[in-house]
Amino acid sequence: MNKKIQKIGWIGTGVMGAPMAQRLMEAGYTLTVYNRTKAKAEPLIAKGAVWADGPEACAKGQDMVFTMVGYPKDVEEVYFGEEGKDGIIAAADAGTLFVDMTTTRPSLSVDIAKAAEAAGCAAIDAPVSGGDVGAKAGTLSIMAGGSEEAVEAAEPVLSHLGTQILREGGPGAGQHTKMANQIALAGTVAGVCEAVKYGKTVGLDPDQMLKSIGGGAAGSWQMNNLGPKMAVGDYAPGFFIKHLVKDLTIADTEAEDRDLHLVVLKTVLSMYKDLRRQDMGELGTQALIAYYDAKGQEDPFDE
């Protein structure tokens, strides 16, 4: 894994993927892009990215291939093709380095790494934290799982996307770390919702309140970035509710498989599922406060 990386395939140009791909173009890499909805890739194409007609075409002839798609089933289909046939590992040249930045099942990341190695390639799982703000600014926290050699080979490119790149262990370890991140995030978002709801109910100025408590021990990225949006009902997505439901469901399954019952995780997952059932899955995660607004003065945890 010591060849110079110049040609990159990027699969998935959504809210997070598009600005990340753009940063690599600005850093001087040659990008070929693919997205199921071509319109979402048009801004990148207009700036010089080459369009590929499918995932396999996007992977062929590249030094490195990034994937950032929606769900585990999407990851599996991209890497292994429909019904386990073809896919980007089969299409890529020997020596290609795959980087899956989707949050997905750790076991799937292990399968991808094994298949890549068998094909003379390498793969790492590298989910991120930092939202669309971090994606645009290149300040993401990147949690990598894979061999030391593969992670080291990816780091020069990843450095354009994140300010913290840590190898967590072998294949799948990055995904397990992301599960821990999402578990912590879920409780924090709910806590910020409750603080905003309480402050508004007792007549405080939400902006002043958030400024005060955000500068103390209660401060967090979620409070500083999502708290103000909660206060004014700005639910524009930096990260979709539907995707957090996916992430938390994976985390809950992984925990239960190990006889670990995480009460806060289960509670917040239930709340988000309730919002998704109300067709709010396309909203940002800060829309969790709508759960409290709908409950009014009732106990939102009372089923």
Tokens matching residue 13? 């140009």
Give catalytic status of residue 197 as yes or no. Answer: no
Q: What angle do CA 278, 280, 282 make, to 5 degrees?
A: 150
CA dihedral 109, 114, 118, 123 (to 10 degrees): 40
Q: What is d(CA 200, CA 280) in angstroms, rounded to the nearest whole number?
A: 23
What gap in Å lies between CA 18 and CA 12, rounded to an integer? 7
Pair 87, 55: CB distance under 8 Å: yes
Annotated catalytic residue, options 178, 197, 229, 246: 178
Q: Which residues contact 217 (CB under 8 A, 6 or more apart)?
A: none
Q: Where are the domains of the chain?
A: 7-169, 176-295
Among the four given CATH numbers 1.10.1040.10, 1.10.3210.10, 3.90.1150.10, 3.40.1080.10, the one describing domain 176-295: 1.10.1040.10
Structure token pair of residue 30: 């040659």
Both tokens assigned to 288:
């969790």
User: 7-169 maps to which CATH number?
Assistant: 3.40.50.720
| CA–CA separation, 34 and 9 (whole Å) | 8
In whole angstroms, give the CA distance from residue 146 to residue 101: 13
Residue at token pair 């509710």: 241
Residue-level pLDDT, tens digit, the chain, 303 residues: 567 899 999 999 999 999 999 999 999 999 999 999 999 999 999 999 999 999 999 999 999 999 999 999 999 999 999 766 689 999 999 999 999 999 999 999 999 999 999 999 999 999 999 888 899 999 999 999 999 999 999 999 999 999 999 999 999 999 999 999 999 999 999 999 999 999 999 999 999 999 999 999 999 999 999 999 999 999 999 889 999 999 999 999 999 999 999 999 999 999 999 999 999 999 999 999 999 988 754 544 454
Q: Which of 124, 79, 120, 77 is nearest to 101 (CA)?
A: 124
Distance from C-alpha of 44 to C-alpha of 46, rounded to nearest angstrom: 5
How high is the pLDDT of residue 296? Answer: 55
